């Protein structure tokens, strides 16, 4: 078999982060090649290098494709050579028809005038190829996610694809849609289309992949042939790293149960009949740091946000108990009153008013704390801000600095200050160290330890397993919207977490 693609020694550096470090990847003509790795291991970055999102010259290393050196200036170049990537977030225009979407930017036209009959004819042929029985004029937004995924593939076929890259194509799909997609992949393989699939799901990889490359911390760990693929091996290669970060000493003395969530069910806010959280439950003790592990899309953020004031989802059911009493958390105000705080994963969009100064952000969740009968005391407000600036060592020339001008770590400290000023009993921290440099991470960990030492409960949602293992007294593992398992600090290891994630027990029970 001839080699279609060879990426040699690819390195890509972002400010402060080495995302890829001499990665090698070889893909043979006509195979399906799987790429595995943890969140943030560098899979997507590697594919962006390949597809020209990061143009030639912005990375080190060489890409040989079909016998020639590849020097893409942009996506258009790579697409012209038949390299097409389907991203996790679909790039379809929901209000346009299937035909319009398929040929977007690539219209069946002469002199700028679209030949609709020909476009429809071609659309039908392509839809037959991907096994979709829809009219070319159907609006894409009216189709389910599974069918939209197939349309993405049809769109790739319309561009004479030779190397098709699918980034977690089944992450948002139901079981039978996933199966259909995998069947289609095998069919395309039979027609000679080489494919790269990024996936976390071992059963899928086992079914379609000929070979598998495992990436960890931006470097290639191994490439396995089909005969070598085994769960243990993949897990070991995915997680087997040294503890790269350090964690502050933790002297845990968990007390009585502070918060208890039981029978929590949440449905997708827009998509009918899609359940996001299934019968989830967990407990948090006084002075305890509890971790929630899981891959992206496992439902961790959805769980947290639905508990915190029903800020996510529909038809929410289940109970939240604080200190043994059932509390109402159906609005954010009530959730705060019940003693909850939620530090969002998306600081800039959901956590901060970027154009306002630090001082106004810190008091936002507890304005009553710096006011008398609705009238603010500027002086008290400033004192509070100065206190937190000292306590959290927020590095800024003044508390009147707009938060937009702060670094990620300092912004996160402002968000934490805001919630601490609201004096919650339980803090839910969603990816608290994302996009923060190593030094600031340590500071955030230290703050978390202090919060626990004060007798508060801390829930940490994180995609970084070492961080969970280094900080948490207990870890819940989420998968497909349910709690797939619970591990004590002593039991927990990266291998055990990964195997709970990958075993996919939940789905088997439903099916």
Partner 1 sequence: MAEQTAGTGGKGIGAHLGGHLRENGMILALVAIVLFFTVIVRVTQGVDFLSAQNITNLFLQNSYVIIMALGMLLVIVAGHIDLSVGSVVGFTGAVAAVLTVNMGWPVWAVIPTCLFVGLCIGAAQGYWVAYWRIPSFIVTLAGMLVFRGLTLWLLDGQNVGPFPKSFQSLSTGFIPDAFGVGKPNMTALFLIALAAVAILWMGLRARARDQQFGITPEPMIVFTIRNFVVVAALMFVGYKLASFRGLPNVVVVLSVLTVLYAFFTEQTTTGRRIYALGGNEKAARLSGINTDRLVFLTFCNMGVLAALAGMIVAARLNSSTPKAGGGFELDVIAAVFIGGASMTGGSGKIIGVVVGALIMGVMNNGMSIMGIGIDYQQVIKGLVLLAAVIFDVYNKNK
| Contact residues for partner 1, defined by CB under 8 A | 308-309, 311, 331-333, 335-336, 342, 344, 349-356, 360, 364-365, 367-368, 371, 374-376, 378-379, 382-383, 386, 395, 397-400, 418, 422
- Whole-angstrom Cα Rg for the chain: 25
CB of residue 420 vs partner 1: minimum separation in angstroms?
Answer: 13
Q: Which is nearer to partner 1, 145 or 311 (CB)?
A: 311
Strand order, beta sheet including 482-488: 340-343, 426-430, 457-461, 289-293, 474-479, 482-488
Q: Euclidean distance between the first and final Cα of the chain, in Å?
A: 38
- DSSP β-ladder status, 163-167 and 314-322: unpaired
Nearer to partner 1 among residue 93 and residue 353 (C-beta): 353
Cβ atoms of residues 18 and 60 within 8 Å: no
Give the shortest CB-482-to-partner 1 separation in angstroms. 25
Q: How far is CA 321 from CA 23, 165, 220, 258, in A?
A: 49, 46, 46, 8
Residue with smaller CB distance to partner 1, 262 or 311: 311
**Helix (H, G, I), strand (E, B), or coil: what is residue 473?**
coil
Would you say 411 and 436 are in contact if contact means Cβ atoms under 8 Å apart?
Answer: no
Q: How many CA atoms lie within 13 A of 346 on its CB side?
A: 5
Nearer to partner 1, 137 or 398 (CB): 398
Q: Which of 112, 278, 116, 88 is nearest to 200 (CA)?
A: 88
Burial class of 25 by CB neighbour count within 10 A (0 to 12, 13 to 18, 19+): buried
- What minimum distance in Å lies between the beta carbon of 257 and partner 1? 25
Closer CB to partner 1, 45 or 329, in the complex: 329
CA neighbours closer than 13 Å in the CB half-sphere of residue 395: 7
Q: How far is it, in rounded angstroms, from Cα 143 to Cα 221?
A: 39
65 vs 419, beta carbon nearer partner 1: 419
Residue 305 CB, shortest distance to partner 1, in Å, is 8
Q: Which one, 401 or 446, has the nearer CB to partner 1?
A: 401
Question: Smallest distance, Å, CB 16 to partner 1?
Answer: 17
Cβ proximity to partner 1: between 385 and 444 the closer is 385
Q: Which helix (H) or strand (E) holds 498?
A: helix 494-503
Assigned token pair, 193: 């289309």
d(CA 308, CA 329): 6
180 burial (CB, 10 Å; 0-12 / 13-18 / 19+) is buried
- In the bound complex, what is the minimum distance in angstroms from residue 371's beta carbon to partner 1? 5
Residue placing its CB nearer to partner 1 in the complex, 209 or 304: 304
Tell the smallest beta-carbon distance from residue 363 to partner 1 (Å): 8
Please say which residue, 363 or 494, places its beta carbon nearer to partner 1. 363
Beta bridge partners of 477: 293, 485
Residue 353 beta carbon to partner 1: minimum distance, rounded to whole angstroms: 4
- CB nearer partner 1, residue 237 or residue 381: 381
**Per residue in 237-256, is it b (16+ CB within 10 Å) or e — as a string?**
bbbebeeeeebeebeeebee
Shortest gap between Cβ of 351 and partner 1 (angstroms)? 6
Minimum Å gap between C-beta 485 and partner 1 is 29
Host H or E run for residue 440: helix 438-453
Q: CA 301, CA 141: separation in Å to the nearest integer?
A: 25
Q: What is the smallest separation between the CB atom of 399 and partner 1, expressed in angstroms?
A: 7
C-beta of 362: minimal distance to partner 1 in Å? 11
Question: Given the complex with partner 1, which of 360 and 474 has the nearer CB atom?
Answer: 360
Task: Tell me which H or E stretch contains 388.
Answer: helix 378-391
Of 103 and 342, CB closest to partner 1: 342
| Residue 419 to residue 464: CA distance in whole angstroms | 23
Give rounded-to-5 percent helix, strand, coil for the chain: 35, 30, 35
* Cα 242 from Cα 503, distance rounded (Å): 24
For the CB of residue 259, give the shortest distance to partner 1 in the complex, in Å.
18
């Amino acid at each position: 078999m001839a080699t279609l693609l060879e990426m040699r020694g690819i390195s890509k550096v972002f400010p402060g982060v080495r995302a890829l470090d001499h990665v090698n990847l070889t893909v043979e003509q006509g195979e399906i090649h799987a790429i595995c790795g943890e969140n943030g291991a560098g899979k997507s970055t590697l594919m962006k290098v390949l597809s020209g999102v990061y143009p030639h010259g912005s990375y080190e290393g060489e890409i040989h494709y079909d016998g020639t050196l590849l020097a893409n200036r942009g996506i258009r170049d790579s697409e012209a050579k038949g390299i097409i990537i389907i991203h996790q977030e679909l790039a379809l225009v929901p209000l346009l028809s299937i035909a319009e979407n398929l040929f977007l930017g690539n219209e069946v036209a002469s002199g700028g005038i679209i030949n609709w009959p020909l476009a429809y004819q071609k659309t039908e042929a392509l839809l037959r190829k991907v096994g979709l029985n829809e009219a070319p004029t159907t609006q894409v937004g009216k189709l389910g996610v599974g069918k939209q995924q197939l349309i993405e593939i049809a769109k790739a076929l319309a561009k004479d694809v030779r190397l098709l890259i699918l980034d977690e194509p089944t992450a948002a799909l139901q079981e039978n849609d996933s199966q259909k997609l995998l069947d289609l992949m095998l069919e395309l393989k039979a027609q000679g289309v080489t494919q790269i699939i990024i996936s976390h799901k071992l059963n899928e990889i086992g079914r379609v992949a000929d070979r598998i490359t495992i990436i960890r911390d931006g470097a290639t760990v191994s490439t396995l042939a089909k005969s070598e693929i085994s769960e243990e091996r993949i897990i070991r290669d995915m997680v087997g790293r040294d503890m790269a970060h350090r964690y502050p000493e933790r002297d845990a003395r968990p007390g009585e149960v502070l918060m208890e969530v039981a029978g929590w069910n949440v449905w997708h806010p827009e998509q009918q009949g899609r359940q996001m959280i299934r019968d989830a439950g967990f407990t948090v003790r006084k002075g305890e740091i509890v971790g929630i592990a899981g891959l992206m899309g496992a439902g961790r953020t959805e769980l947290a946000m639905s508990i915190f004031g029903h800020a996510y989802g529909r038809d929410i059911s289940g109970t939240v108990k604080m200190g043994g009493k059932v509390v109402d958390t159906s609005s954010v105000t009530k959730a705060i009153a019940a003693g909850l705080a939620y530090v969002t994963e998306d600081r800039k969009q959901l956590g901060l008013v970027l154009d306002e100064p630090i001082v106004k952000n810190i008091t936002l969740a507890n304005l009553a704390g710096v006011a008398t009968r609705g009238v603010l005391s500027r002086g008290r407000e400033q004192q509070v801000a100065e206190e937190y600036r000292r306590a959290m060592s927020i590095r800024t020339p003044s508390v009147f600095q707009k938060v937009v001008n702060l670094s990620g770590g300092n912004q996160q400290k402002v968000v934490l200050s805001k919630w601490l000023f609201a004096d919650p009993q339980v803090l839910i921290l969603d990816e608290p160290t994302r996009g923060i440099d190593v030094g600031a991470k340590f500071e955030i960990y230290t703050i978390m330890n202090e919060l626990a030492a004060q007798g508060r409960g801390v829930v940490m949602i994180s995609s970084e397993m070492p961080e969970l293992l280094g900080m948490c007294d207990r870890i819940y593992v989420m998968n497909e919207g349910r709690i797939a398992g619970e591990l004590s600090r002593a039991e927990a290891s990266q291998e055990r977490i990964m195997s709970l994630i990958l075993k996919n027990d939940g789905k088997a029970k439903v099916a």
